[in-house]
Amino acid sequence: MTEIKIYNTKARAKEVFAPIDPENVRLYVCGPTVYDRAHLGNARPVVVFDVLQRLLRHVYGADHVTYVRNFTDVDDKINATALSRKEAGAEGSLEELVHERSNETIAWYLKDMGALGAQEPDHMPRATEFIAPMISMIEDLIAKGHAYEAEGHVLFAVESYKNYGALSGRSVDDMIAGARVEVAPYKRNPMDFVLWKPSTDELPGWDSPWGRGRPGWHIECSAMSHDLLGASFDIHGGGNDLQFPHHENEIAQSKCAHPDADFARYWMHNEMLQVEGKKMSKSLGNFFTVRDLLDQGVPGEVIRFVFLGTHYRKPMDWTEKKRAEAEATLRKWRGLTAGIKPESRPSPTVVAVLADDLNTAGALTEMHKLAGAGEAATLLASARMVGLLGDDMGEWYQNDANYDSIQELVEELLVARTEARKAKDWPRADMLRDGFKSAGVKVTDTPDGPVWSVERDEIDSLPLFHAVRLAFGNGDNAELQRQLKQAKRAGVFFADSNQLDVSPAWRGLPDSDFVREKLTDLKNLLVLNS
């Protein structure tokens, strides 16, 4: 059997993975708070732990892994949307409207993550459906002297758990100094955290021994993992940013409620994501969602490939260059494996590299070697193991039937360009230069001759979004729809089409039909002018 090694945050070392029960390997990953679209950084743990569960299933058997990822649907931002809908006259109780809003965002999430090739976990518990187990866990913690009630709140007494801070390796004093601890008069110790809090009439709430209220965030994962995986399970995963306080608090709650159990035996944390070397943030204007990228025409498979190119414990930098390289590689690999039946097993080298603390970057390097050696059937089986080159992910490649005719047109036009330059026919050379640009085709001269690519920033997009904003300002809806469609075909997208005067516009790849049409126009123009 393949030996899997995992860097265990708890031990601060790489350890050989030994499951409690090889017949049922159990994995819990902290899921999203479902108040809006997932941004690109949210997708990183999803892809990382998707590869992990695929590896575990490869080693222990597809039916011998239980993978749980929760949805946090108790949150102030979800409440705010539900409340504003209620005030606008929507029918149903506040709890029902909260549920409805969560349903919307959960559907978005699953669709977007599915586009990245992430398989759905075996269980996707929602916090609002596990209120009863949370209440009984809180009651148990009070009975055991680890929690106390104060002014309608229930708080966990951090001092009652001596190993608090062991996961992240901090002392309680350091944590108080470093963290933004909420000081409240009802807390015995500023580090004590909320297990239960009261709800006003404007907030969703559930009846409890401490009055109508709602759970704190941390207790969700402790109660849900216990319910679905038991008091001891194998791996707990999540982003680095969750180590403290979320995971420390989960450990404190679970270990105090079930002192004889292990809770999670291996803790895995992925590093964060950056964009072009900078932290993703709304104020830097580099904040985008997975849906934004997909809508710009970046295939989910390309996003996944870029993610896998960086080891999960290193910061991952999303760059335009990586996007383009990933697309070129996938195009090559898909061409090489088209019509090929995959080998029954992936390459043992790829599996061994991947099993060494989920070295996805190393696995891709091995796959490059397979592609170079022309071992298409083994490449296909190996790539599918990490969720690449599947039929379900290949729609972008098949849909791009335009690609061949675009290539043919460009090559023909490049010959005309060389001839025009040789003949010093500058008006004709200029016509070609402008024509390529308006089709989104970037031509670069190299010592080996011109190379070309379809680029997102080649087309002059300013006139396009000015036309959209003008039509919007004039209130001319028919014209607006026409301009929006035109802009979208050329790769100009707006964040919110109900707020075109303020919402940001960004550039994506032009539609391949659009590129083909523009190149055909250029070809016809050349014929007319010859």
Positions touching Zn ion (CB under 5 A) are 30, 221
Residue 72 near residue 217, CB atoms below 8 Å: yes
Of 204 and 245, the one with the shorter C-beta distance to Zn ion is 245
Read off the tokens for 511.
């539609």
- How far apart CA 113 and CA 124 sit, in angstroms, is 14
Nearest-approach distance from CB 27 to Zn ion, in angstroms:
13
Nearest-approach distance from CB 265 to Zn ion, in angstroms:
16
Taking the CB of residue 198, how many other CB atoms lie within 10 A of it?
A: 16
At residue 443, what are phi and psi to the nearest 5 degrees?
Answer: -110, 130
Read off the tokens for 180.
């933004």
- How far apart CA 161 and CA 146 sit, in angstroms, is 8
Of 264 and 484, the one with the shorter C-beta distance to Zn ion is 264
Of 71 and 465, the one with the shorter C-beta distance to Zn ion is 71
Nearest-approach distance from CB 136 to Zn ion, in angstroms:
19
Of 221 and 294, the one with the shorter C-beta distance to Zn ion is 221
Nearest-approach distance from CB 220 to Zn ion, in angstroms:
7
Of 231 and 505, the one with the shorter C-beta distance to Zn ion is 231
Instruction: Pick the closest to residue 393 from 297, 511, 304, 508 (CA basis).
Output: 304
User: Distance of alpha carbon 426 from its chain centroid, rounded?
Assistant: 48
Nearest-approach distance from CB 30 to Zn ion, in angstroms:
3
Inter-CA distances, 321 with 37, 42, 324, Å: 25, 21, 5
Q: DSSP states of 350-417 as a string?
A: HHHHHHBT--HHHHHHHHHHHHHTT-HHHHHHHHHHTT-S-GGG-HHHHHTTHHHHHHHHHHHHHHHH
Nearest-approach distance from CB 31 to Zn ion, in angstroms:
8
Of 27 and 326, the one with the shorter C-beta distance to Zn ion is 27
Q: DSSP states of 171-222 as a string?
A: -HHHHHHHS-PPP-TT-SSTT-EEEEEE--TTS--B--TT-SEEE-HHHHHH
Of 121 and 342, the one with the shorter C-beta distance to Zn ion is 121
Nearest-approach distance from CB 130 to Zn ion, in angstroms:
12
